[in-house]
Amino acid sequence: MQTIWQMQVEAFKGLLETYQDYDLSPAAEGLEKVMARFEQPWTKYFFITADSVDVGAVRVIDKKDGSRKRISPIFIMPEYRSRGYAQKAMLAIEEMYGSDNWCLDTILQEKGNLHLYEKMGYHQTGRIEHINERMDIVFYEKD
């Protein structure tokens, strides 16, 4: 669990510096918060691996009660980005959990994220949450 936390902090550090969202950013979370999520019966973490190297991770929330499954967070380490790993990981998660009834959210100003999620079949719900003068969170669903 400590490895996932350390990777998460490193992976989100640039976004934290850009948007300064110290309340929401995964880079600002303490180890205890990640450990508490790890203990949730509806949460599973998966490493994203390429050539026997952990290049990122994804957390899947599935309460198995008919509510939407959720990806929160998914991240790729900076040196491994733009190689299709996040897309492959999302496809693998959908193979395990099914490809419908999902939700996620992301930073509206991060156009690469928007492109990825829309390419994967997610659509914006119309809900946007203003966080600060630099950043908004946009919500997505996939049916």
Residue 46 C-alpha from the chain's centroid: 11
Domains recognised in the chain with CATH numbers: 2-142 (3.40.630.30)
Series of mean pLDDT values for 10-residue runs along the chain (143 residues): 96 98 95 96 98 97 97 98 97 97 98 97 98 97 97
The pLDDT value given to residue 133: 96
Cα separation, 24 vs 40, in Å, equals 19
Interatomic CA distance for residues 20 and 29, integer angstroms: 13
What is the 3-class SS of 59-122, one letter each residue? EEECCCCCCCEEEEEEEECHHHCCCCHHHHHHHHHHHHHCCCCEEEEEECCCHHHHHHHHHCCC
Query: Residues near 72 by Cβ (< 8 Å), separated by ≥ 6?
Result: 59, 61, 104, 105
Q: Return the pLDDT at 93.
A: 98
User: How much is the mean pLDDT over the chain?
Assistant: 97
Report d(CA 16, CA 134) in Å as an integer. Answer: 11
Check the CA dihedral 49-50-56-58 and report its sign.
negative
Taking the CB of residue 129, how many other CB atoms lie within 10 A of it? 12
